[in-house]
Every structure is written in C-alpha cells, then in structure tokens.
Structure 1
Amino acid sequence: MPTEKIRANRRTAGVTFAARLEFENIWHSFAPASDTLQGVSLAAEAGEVLCLLGPSGSGKTTLLRIAAGIEPQSAGRVLLNEREIAGPSVFLPPEKRSIGLVFQDFALFPHMTILDNVRFGLTALSGEEGRKEAMNALSRVGLEAYASSYPHVLSGGEQQRVALARALAPRPAVLLMDEPFSGLDSRLKDSVRAETLAILRESRATAIVVTHDAEEAMRMGDRIALLKDGRLIQTGRGEDLYLRPADLFVAGFFSELNVFEGKVESGAVDTPLGKIGARELADGAQATVAVRTTGFNFSETEGDIEARVISRRYLGVVELLELAVAGADFPVRARVRCGVLSSRARDIWLSLRDSDVLLFESARKSA
C-alpha cells in the first residue's frame, strides 16, 4: 500500500511519555574468553530516534536485548529516567520496564487474529478496553480493516506494521526495533520505513533502532551510535560520522573508499593521486589517505591526474569505473554520473574534491 494511502487511512499515533534510556559501562559475554560488549556507555534521549549501527557481531542486538530485559549484562547498569532497571542491585523483568520490542521477524502468532496479536500485550486492561486500544493501534498504522484476518494473509510490510502496532499499543516509554526492515524488498522498504518514522515522531516515544545499513541509519536516526567488536566507536549525527569520521573503520562504513598508505614529509603525503596535505600530523608519521569513490571530477581533455578506464559498469544514475593510475598497485574505483564521460572515453583526467579526501594517522603495529 503506498505511503500516502496509509497516511490517509490511519489515525494519529497516541502520545507516550518518552523516557531517557541510558547504558552505563555495559559488559556482556557469552563465553569467558569472548566479550560481546566491552564497556559500552550510551544514552538515548527522551523522544529521540537513536540508531545502533555496525557489522554483524558488533553487539547491537545484544545491547537491545539487555535493554529489554531478555538478556542480563555481565556488568554495568541500565537506567530509565535515572532509575536503575538492571544492575548490581536490581533486575526488572521485561514486563515491568515500559519498553516495547519489535523483533526482526515480527514474531506474530500465526494462530491468532491481527486484533488478538495487537491485544496480546494489553493484559492490564479489561477485555473490552484491550480490544478498543488494540483497534486504535491498528488504526494508527492503517490496518484496522484486517483486524479479523490472520498474519499469513498480510504482506511483509503489513506484518511489520502490525508488529509496530503491537509494540506501541501499551504506550511504552521506549521502543526497541531490531532490524525491522531487513525482510522487506527494496521497493517496499523505503515507504514502510518512512511511515514507521512518521508514527514514531507522532507517538513521541524514545526509539532505538538496530541496523547494519549506514544509509538507513542516516535516514532514520537523530543520532547514530556505531559499534565494532563490542565497543562503541563513534556517536553523533549522521553528517558528523560521514564528514568527520573518527577513524578509517567509520569512514569505510559510510563510504566506499580508495585507501593509500604513506609517510608524512614536509606536511604532505605523496600518493598516486597526488600530494595530500597533512599539516596536522608530524613529519615522519605513517598516514592513511582515504578517497571516496564519489570524490572525483572527470574530464576527457584536462585535469590533475591521468587515468585509463579499465572497466565501467552502468548502475542507472551513475557508472562505476575501475581506473589504472600510475603508481597505484590496484585499480582506483570511482563513481561518475552517467553522461559525464562519452561511451568511448578511455584515457581521461581526474581531479580530487577536497571534501572527499580523508586523512588518518596509521595505527601503530606491535613489534
């Protein structure tokens, strides 16, 4: 169902009392020799959408399960509006936390109607009150017409909205979503994601969304927390992480890169793409230069760097090029808008856009 039609068919989401959820020095381990989370300290502010981003195995889902009360941490505390809900002195069960959870596979009960699925968590209400609240929740996501149907008749996007309605029905202070759009096809994903974000904004619940997709995190999150191997690497707005990445890992998570190693001499690093200014690093330091594949200007007549086209792949709006550049041990990858280069272009010229060139001091290798 198109997003515009969903919005026309649903009620405004009911407002919740948003809360601040804080992780304080969280450690977790499934095995003595392997820490899943290593001292993670992070807070989702009241009413904000915080995206937990990272590769598989980085600890994102484990942190979500700890917040929900499904998994206990090894050390550290979880606080809701400064009140400890999990730690050395207390461990509240999931049903006492005012935290809703939307699972990756939606976890709908196949033998129950859509209405009963949504009503499942409203145990504190009478039968009639629960039914009324469940219908209101279904109306908010535009699916009240399916109240008497069963999950198997719904599309993936509709099932996702039922799961969202079920999580929002009890008006939780915090809503946790574990890769909620991963099972949707690309055509449907954008519209369902936009509608979900609109519902979260209307409900004003604090939300933590787990994803491994950097673009999705930037589309949804007020802030992003990037994890790697159980550690929090960088937190900030999407533009902060993209424009000012803390290290090469962060830069590579948000952009496809060409990476060159070199030594700083006279305030610059010599690379096959020319000298890159490095005034912030001491002469003699080992440096890593990363150039985004989108960071090139192209010409068939003049420029700073001569290159030869090895291959080009049409991707619709852009073409992906592999280029041979003198001094480079591997092909340089670049993206160019379709039509900029003629179909017969082979020997071309490049120049760099400074904003797409990133410099890092190389990690020291132990002897």
Structure 2
Amino acid sequence: MKTETAQTANRVSAGVTFAARLAFENICHSFETGAETLRDVSLTAEPGEVLCLLGPSGSGKTTLLRIAAGIEAQTSGRVLLNEREIAGPNVFLPPEKRSIGLVFQDFALFPHLTILDNVRFGLTALSAEEARSEAMIALSRVGLAHYAGSYPHVLSGGEQQRVALARALAPRPAVLLMDEPFSGLDSRLKDNVRAETLAILRESRATAIVVTHDAEEAMRMADRIALLKGGKLVQTGSAEELYLRPANLFVAGFFSELNVFEGRVRDQFVDTPVGKVAAPGIQDGLAASVAVRLTGFDVNETAGEVQARILSRRFLGVVELLELAVPGAEVPVRARIRCGALSAKARDIWLSLRKSDVLLFETQRENA
C-alpha cells in the first residue's frame, strides 16, 4: 500500500464553483427538556475562510454545525448563506437544498459500496456518467483515484477520511462542515492528514467550518477561531489574537497550561509567590488572577528572583517538565524548560518570570 505522502503526489487540483459567506445571527437552541445548548451566538464564516469552532465537550459547537447543515433546527435566530436566509422563523431549507457539505466524525462510508460509489452517492441530480466524472475528479483531488474500485475496509483511517472529504466536495458545495474530522486517526498520521486536508480545502476554495476540541489543531488549521463555552461565544479571532490577548482566564487556559495565582492589586502591582507582576489599569484593592504559562520561567542554579526546589523532573525530549516547591505557593508550580538548562544534579534553583508569558485578569470581571 502506498504511504500517505506518496499518495499526495497523485493529487490534482480542482476548485469548486464558488465560496459563500455563512452567517449565524443570534442563534439560540434548547432541547425539549429545556436545557440550553446555544445562547445568542452570532458568527460569520467569510468566503473561502477556514473557521474553527473550538471548545470543550458540551460547549455547543457540534450543535451549531448541525444547525448550519439543516440536521437540527435552532430555537430562535437565523442562518444566512450569502445574505439569503436558509433557516429562520419562516424558512427552513432541507439539507440537500443548502449547498453545504458535511464530513462526519466517523466518516460514515458505506462498507458495501466501492470508493467511487461512496463518493458519487449524493450526486443524484446528475446523470450516471456525469456523476462518475465528478466523483473521479473529487477522488483525484484527494489523491485516491487509484482506489476507485476498492472498498473502504482496505483503506487506512487517513485514506477513509480523505474519501469522506472527497464525497463532501463532489457536489462542489459553497460551504463545507467538518465535525472532529481527525479525532479517529492515529496520532502519528494526524499531522500529515490534517496538513493534506488543509491543502485540499485551500485548493477547492470552499468556505470551511471545522469543529474541534483541540486548541493546537485549531491553531494549525484556522484563519479564525471561535471559542465557545456553555453555549456562548467567548472570543473570536486569529490564533495569535486568542493566544496573546485572551479575553479571560478560560481562553488563556484553553490555549496554554497555566499556573494561576490569586492576589490583590497594591500600588499597581500584584504580589505572587513567583514574583511581583505589574497590574496597569486595575484599581488598587481589586482581586486579580495572575496566570503564568509553563514556559514563563527562566531557570538558573546560582541566581534569580525566587528560590524553588525541584520536586519532580520529567524528560520529554526537547523539553523537561518540572514540578517545583515555591515558598508561599499552596500547590506545586509547574515549569517547562529546555533540556540542558539545568544540570542533572540540580535540586535548589532560582526562577525569573518571563513577562511575555504572564497574563493578568481582574477577578471580578472573570467571574461576571
């Protein structure tokens, strides 16, 4: 069997007819039990954009995707495709009328159909010959035309994912929806298949909305990321914006492992066990949360700002993960350092804060 990389060379480029703007306006959704899954979500995927819906389990991201596809109906609000309402108070287009493709989490390939027949399954509006031609174009686009007569069981997980992508692209949709498309893949293949999928999306020029719970995956794929929590949209922006300028502690913690210290602002500073942190713009006396990424420490065996004792040390290849006892800290402080930064016998060390990896949030706003 050819490798994933070798098969990439067989892929050909082919674009869709057009890309569309998909907009969610004030979307709310509740189940019959009354439980709210989405609360007043407004969000737009621009033409040709890869937008990632990111959030923990139960945040509402898959429900929003199902509403876009027409599988689920919102309780209130509207969905618009190129300014045309496709779901709202008085309109509900069925899925097959929306020009929206969907790639399921489990790929949903038919085991009794050949790869070609799987891909042309939804091309019912075309003649048999036209459907075959479009299906072969879609398979060529994902580098799997040579498997047209085979059956799904002979393919690897990554190849099955690409067949599912080809099937969704075959009708040349204006918008492509992908629900956790890489969650079932071996971690060794995931990076390659993800990069290949992104290349195919760019070439097809379809607007794409990808659901994931993996922040790194969203950062690798997305032009923009929409982070949800408890059915509400928390922050939208580029990967850089959400990482460097998180709206609150939840956003910061979703993109980085953190050490969090609570304190009060005094003379525009917050004292923490790992050092004093500037608090510009926060009124004296207010409670604040100081978040320090695990990469936010410089370590030294002879000098620094704060003393610490190594409790545990894990070798992770390029980096080491330390657990540290720091005076005044109620729980061990964690640090991720470059291998070789400390000698093998180091036990008592010094820490210095790296300001670029320190984030400050007003606790009252965080809890609002």
2:31 aligns to what SS in structure 1? Answer: strand
Residue identity in the other structure for 1:137:
A
1:241 aligns to what SS in structure 2? Answer: helix
Moved over 6 A (4+): none
| Equivalent residue, structure 2, for 1:147 | 148
CA contact under 8 A between 1:3 and 1:195: conserved in structure 2?
Answer: no
| Equivalent residue, structure 1, for 2:64 | 63
Residue identity in the other structure for 1:291:
V
1:350 equivalent to 2:351? Answer yes
Task: Supply the distance in 1 between the matched residues of 2:234 and 2:365 (Cα, whole angstroms).
Answer: 18
Residue identity in the other structure for 2:181:
P
CA contact under 8 A between 1:115 and 1:131: conserved in structure 2?
Answer: yes
What is the deviation of 1:364?
Answer: 6.6
Task: Supply the distance in 1 between the matched residues of 2:32 and 2:333 (Cα, whole angstroms).
Answer: 42
What is the deviation of 1:10?
Answer: 1.2
- Structure 2: state its 5+ residue gaps: none
What is the deviation of 1:2?
Answer: 4.8
CA contact under 8 A between 2:300 and 2:349: conserved in structure 1?
Answer: yes
| Equivalent residue, structure 2, for 1:289 | 290
CA contact under 8 A between 2:16 and 2:174: conserved in structure 1?
Answer: no
CA contact under 8 A between 1:234 and 1:246: conserved in structure 2?
Answer: yes
| Equivalent residue, structure 1, for 2:85 | 84
CA contact under 8 A between 1:26 and 1:39: conserved in structure 2?
Answer: yes
Residue identity in the other structure for 2:157:
G
2:126 aligns to what SS in structure 1? Answer: coil
2:193 aligns to what SS in structure 1? Answer: helix
Distance 1:69 1:293, change over 3 A: same
Task: Supply the distance in 1 between the matched residues of 2:366 and 2:222 (Cα, whole angstroms).
Answer: 35
Task: Supply the distance in 1 between the matched residues of 2:275 and 2:233 (Cα, whole angstroms).
Answer: 34
Residue identity in the other structure for 2:147:
Y
What is the deviation of 1:314?
Answer: 1.0
CA contact under 8 A between 1:2 and 1:191: conserved in structure 2?
Answer: no
Per-residue Cα deviation, 1:242-276 (whole angstroms, up to 9, x for no partner):
00000000000000000010111111111101111
Task: Supply the distance in 1 between the matched residues of 2:35 and 2:93 (Cα, whole angstroms).
Answer: 26
> What root-mean-square deviation, in Å, do the aligned CA atoms of Structure 1 and Structure 2 show?
1.2
Per-residue Cα deviation, 1:300-326 (whole angstroms, up to 9, x for no partner):
111111111000111111111000111
- Structure 1: state its 5+ residue gaps: none
What is the deviation of 1:89?
Answer: 1.4
Residue identity in the other structure for 1:288:
S
Per-residue Cα deviation, 1:138-161 (whole angstroms, up to 9, x for no partner):
111111111111111111000000
Task: Supply the distance in 1 between the matched residues of 2:79 and 2:207 (Cα, whole angstroms).
Answer: 15
**Identity fraction in percent:** 78
What is the deviation of 1:4?
Answer: 4.1
| Equivalent residue, structure 2, for 1:214 | 215
Task: Supply the distance in 1 between the matched residues of 2:52 and 2:233 (Cα, whole angstroms).
Answer: 12
Per-residue Cα deviation, 1:152-200 (whole angstroms, up to 9, x for no partner):
1111000000000000000000000000000001110000000000000
1:34 equivalent to 2:40? Answer no
Residue identity in the other structure for 2:313:
R
| Equivalent residue, structure 1, for 2:192 | 191
Task: Supply the distance in 1 between the matched residues of 2:259 and 2:78 (Cα, whole angstroms).
Answer: 41
CA contact under 8 A between 2:249 and 2:366: conserved in structure 1?
Answer: no
